[in-house]
């Protein structure tokens, strides 16, 4: 089993390196594994796809869900060449992944010019000190969708 | 200008309510605005699309990028019916949005059964206390993609 873990991580790192030495996208790669088999794998495609959410982990999660026809990846493990940014870590929670393995970390990414550590640090700041301003408006109408949702007997929770 | 802000937020809330009272997806809606005009709008489509990353904000960001043919939404504002979860907040940073407006908050979402506040709280825990285990392996190989990236003179940073 230990050897398999290293093999899956090496696959994620190879995807990242292939991107890094081409025009593919950012130097990140990820693999989703279930029952010892690779379900999906992807590099980062932010620049070629014009999609700021197309990180390797998000891509691999989306592809695995499409393949398994579910929004619930319980029983799956994510191997990623670099510690997930807060977007990808949250995506892993929403996808109900069992475990995450990573090789490089947010500080290595920062040294190569990426904002992962910066965004993590933003989360710890009070709203008014963040670089991306965020403001609450129309608070009293914001409950309406949740009230309708709670009342809807045909809803599909996730 | 103030009236426009309320109009855009009402549009996001209407998308959320439409979802909530149908089988469309989670009770969330979002709108991306540039120069006073709506560029994109979407409800949450996690369940119909089998995509745990298809939150309203991520959908609207991806659609705006596709429309404007860029991964950089500088100059754009996001209106969302509920405070962005950590995934969507990070996506807003990566997309370089100017500002976020929201109506309901993470605690309202929790009352309706959603994990936004739970995932925010996970970020504040030491790795070993989180519900989603995360482990570093193959650390020494993790730098390779970043080294290749730094050396690549044809790379497209983002």
Tens of pLDDT, residue by residue over B126-147, are 988 999 999 999 999 999 999 9
Q: What is the pTM of this model?
A: 0.97
- Give the residue on A whose Cα is nearest the Cα of B20: A149
Q: Give the gap in angstroms from C-alpha B41 to the nearest C-alpha of chain A.
A: 16
Q: Give the gap in angstroms from C-alpha B19 to the nearest C-alpha of chain A.
A: 8
B53 and A70 within 8 Å at the Cβ level: the answer is no
Under 8 Å between Cβ of A44 and A129:
no
A50 and B29 within 8 Å at the Cβ level: the answer is no
pLDDT greater at residue B37 or residue A2 = B37
Going by pLDDT thresholds of 50, 70 and 90, the confidence category of residue A130 is very high
Under 8 Å between Cβ of B13 and A138:
yes
Q: Give the gap in angstroms from C-alpha A110 to the nearest C-alpha of chain B.
A: 10
Cα(first)–Cα(last) distance of chain A, in Å? Answer: 31
Indicate whether B49 pLDDT > 60: yes
Under 8 Å between Cβ of B145 and A16:
yes
Buried-exposed string B96-116: b where 16+ CB fall within 10 A, e elsewhere = bbeebbbbbebebbeebebbb
User: Which pLDDT score, from 0 to 100, does residue A24 have?
Assistant: 84
With CA atoms as reference, report the closest residue to B57 among B25, B92, B23, B26: B92
Mean per-residue pLDDT of chain B: 96
List CB contacts (< 8 A) between B6 and chain A: 137-138
User: Which pLDDT score, from 0 to 100, does residue A18 have?
Assistant: 97
Catalytic residues of A: 57
**DSSP bridge pairs for A78:** A32, A100
Determine the Cα–Cα distance for residues B141 and B153; give it in Å rounded to an integer: 22
User: Which pLDDT score, from 0 to 100, does residue A3 have?
Assistant: 66
Mean pLDDT of B12-17: 98
Under 8 Å between Cβ of A79 and A8:
yes
Determine the Cα–Cα distance for residues B79 and A71; give it in Å rounded to an integer: 25
The dihedral over CA atoms of B109, A126, B123, B52, expressed in degrees to the nearest 10, equals 40
User: Which pLDDT score, from 0 to 100, does residue B41 have?
Assistant: 98
A87 and B86 within 8 Å at the Cβ level: the answer is yes
Tokens of A148: 């309708």
């Amino acid at each position: 089993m230990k050897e398999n873990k290293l093999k899956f991580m090496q696959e994620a790192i190879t995807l990242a390196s292939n991107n890094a030495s081409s025009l593919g996208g950012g130097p990140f790669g990820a693999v989703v594994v279930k029952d010892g088999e690779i379900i999906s794998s992807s590099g980062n495609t932010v620049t070629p796809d014009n999609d700021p959410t197309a990180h390797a982990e998000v891509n691999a999660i989306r592809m695995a869900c499409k393949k398994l026809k579910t929004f619930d990846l319980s029983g799956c493990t994510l191997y990623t060449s670099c510690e997930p940014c807060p977007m990808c870590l949250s995506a892993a929670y929403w996808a109900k992944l069992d475990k995450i393995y990573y090789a490089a970390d947010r500080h290595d990414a920062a040294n190569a010019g990426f904002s992962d550590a910066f965004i993590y640090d933003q989360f710890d700041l009070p709203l008014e000190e963040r670089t991306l301003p965020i403001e609450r408006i129309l608070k009293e109408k914001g409950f309406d969708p949740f009230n309708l949702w709670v009342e809807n007997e045909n809803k599909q929770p996730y």
